Amino acid sequence: MQLTNWAGNVRFRAARIRRPRSTAELAEQVAAARRARVLGTGHSFSPIADTDGDLLVLADLPVEIAVDTAASTVSVSGPARLGELAAALHRDGYALGNLPSLPHISLAGAHATGTHGSGVGNGCLATAVDEVELVTADGGLRTLARGDPDFGAVVVGLGCFGVVTRTTLRVEPSYDVAQTVYDDLPLAALLDGVDGILASAYSVSVFTRYGDDSQIWVKRRVGDRPQSLSWTGATPARGGRHPIPGLPAPFSTQQLGVPGPWHERLPHFRAEYTPSSGDELQSEYLVAAGDAAPALRAVAAIRDIVRPVLQVAEIRAVAADDHWVCPSAGRDSVALHFTWVRDERAVPPVVAAVEAALSPFAPRPHWGKLSGVGAERLGARYPLWGDFAAAVARWDPAGVFRNDLTDRWLGRA
């Protein structure tokens, strides 16, 4: 059986596809494998999950979600998706501090790649993780807690340390969010005022094609004081919006300032809908927050190259964290995301042009997106890159969990 990722641009080369039904069976399969990688929900646009060995599909493992009210944590096992975790938490009166755009992706895959939502005070999903349990390369089961020496490497571990079988995250009481979309943000206002725009609410995203018709998606926690965006020239939308102009608004979460549960507002897309056909490619780069305005100007300067293959770009803020190779490690960041048309010939040269334009700002690529950034530049952009590579070698000396992409990044095992 040939498997592809969600967008169809990665065709997995696995010699075997394994579907364990228990942690014990998973451990046996890992211990017997020469090479192995985990396929989560297949939403990565890079070949990060590819392998020429055993591709581990965890969909048959049981999902268990248990809240510890005394510790204010939730323990999540199996292939849980963020949408089902969020719904279960909300039923019990709890919440996560933030969520990424898509509730359809797996929890383990999201924190392993540094996936994030938005908000100047909100870190990536991995910042909520207190503990992980993994099946390691020898088939053993190991638990690592925040404060353990390699914790900062393993949680955003790019799949190189083992198969995550359980994650424990910090939770808080459930809360409501109201979402308002603003239309027709002028490009000059975006370039001159990006810092104020991103700081105007709990979670803010700007969707743009680097013209004068950008959207601001403002997600305000109910009880927080609203901030006016009239200074930007953008106006409140009179109906529902999709991030990509022309696509159906019902795929998107409720807008027009109607309050609702956190998990039904923080993502851009409703859990009950597939957000699009997958007919796209994606790239994303995180720069230091202080470089957001000049980085945006650099992209705007090549918009005549970018726009012909761009569906929409998204701009978000991400707070700094202490995970060794998380794209937001050690610096408050602004993420520049690009949703491209699915044209595997036309898009790579444009990605290269974007990377060249952003190069003065030491951009860090999202690990699950398309990128041409190689080992030399990665090593220069992450102070703990060498420590991360050494930790991978200690945990997996035979390179069971390595693949061509991680070898390109880290050097061959």
The domain that contains 241 carries what CATH number?
3.30.70.2520
Q: Are residues 139 and 267 in the same domain?
A: no
Which one of 112, 139, 174 terminates a domain?
174
User: What's the average model confidence in pLDDT over 202-208?
Assistant: 98
Q: Is residue 15 part of a domain?
A: no
Give the mean model confidence (pLDDT) for residues 11-17: 93
Q: Which pLDDT does position 23 carry in this prediction?
A: 97
**Whether 131 and 74 share a structural domain:** yes
The tokens describing 164, both together, are 């995550």
Residues 190 and 338 in one domain: yes
Which of 44, 47, 109 has the alpha carbon at shortest distance from 82?
Answer: 109
Q: What is residue 262's predicted lDDT score, i.e. its pLDDT?
A: 98
For residue 96, give the CATH number of its domain.
Answer: 3.30.465.10
- Domain assignment present for residue 327? The answer is yes
Q: Assess whether 148 and 270 both reside in one domain.
A: no
Over range 56-85, report the average pLDDT. 96
pLDDT at 275: 64
- ∠ at Cα 260 (258, 261), nearest 5°? 160
Q: What are the residue ranges of helices labelled H in 131-237?
A: 151-154, 187-198
pLDDT band at 31 (very low <50, low <70, confident <90, very high): very high
Do 332 and 271 share a structural domain?
yes
396 is a domain residue: no
Query: Do 213 and 353 share a domain, yes or no?
Result: yes
Question: Is the per-residue pLDDT at 1 higher than 60?
Answer: no
Q: What is the rounded average pLDDT of the residues 400-411?
A: 94
User: In the prediction, which pLDDT does 375 show?
Assistant: 87
Instruction: Based on the fold, state whether residues 146 and 190 are members of the same structural domain.
Output: no
C-alpha–C-alpha distance, residues 63 and 301, integer Å: 47
Provide the pLDDT for residue 318: 98
Last residue of a domain, one of 174, 192, 213: 174
Per-residue pLDDT reduced to its tens digit, 95-135: 999 999 999 999 999 999 999 999 999 999 999 999 999 99
pLDDT at residue 274 above 90? no
Distance between CA 289 and CA 379 in Å, rounded? 20
pLDDT of 359 > 70? The answer is yes
Q: Return the pLDDT at 413.
A: 65
Please report how the helices 187-198 and 292-300 are oriented relative to each other, as an axis angle in degrees rounded to 10.
Answer: 150
In a domain, 158, yes or no: yes
State how many domains the chain has.
Answer: 2
Q: Is residue 313 located within the same domain as residue 224?
A: yes
Confidence of residue 278 (pLDDT cuts 50, 70, 90): low
pLDDT in tens, 136-156: 999 999 999 999 999 999 999
Q: Are residues 277 and 348 in the same domain?
A: yes
Look at residue 126 and tell me if it is in a domain.
Answer: yes
CB distance 259 to 236 below 8 Å:
no
Tell me the pLDDT of the chain averaged across its residues: 96
Asked if residue 122 belongs to a domain, the reply is yes
Instruction: Report if residue 4 sits inside a domain.
Output: no
- Between 338 and 374, residue with greater pLDDT: 338
Mean pLDDT calculated for residue range 295-302: 98
Domain residues for the domain of 86 are 64-174
pLDDT band with cut points at 50, 70 and 90 for residue 320: very high
Domain match, 142 and 190 both: no
pLDDT of residue 372: 93
DSSP for 89-146?
Answer: HHHTTEE-S---S-TTSBHHHHHHTT-----TT---GGGGEEEEEEE-TTS-EEEEET
Residues 237 and 259 in one domain: yes
Residue 109, CA atoms < 13 Å, CB-side half-sphere: 28
pLDDT confidence band for 78 (50 / 70 / 90)? confident
Tell me if 190 is assigned to some domain. Answer: yes
Residue 272, pLDDT score: 86
* pLDDT above 90: residue 83: yes
The partner residues of 164 in beta bridges, in order of sequence, read 134
pLDDT given at position 4: 87
Rounded Cα distance between 308 and 72, Å, is 48
pTM higher than 0.85, yes or no?
Answer: yes
End-of-domain residue from the set 121, 152, 174: 174
State whether 170 and 182 are in the same domain.
no
> What's the pLDDT score for residue 5?
85
Q: Could you give the percent of the chain with pLDDT greater than 90? A: 92
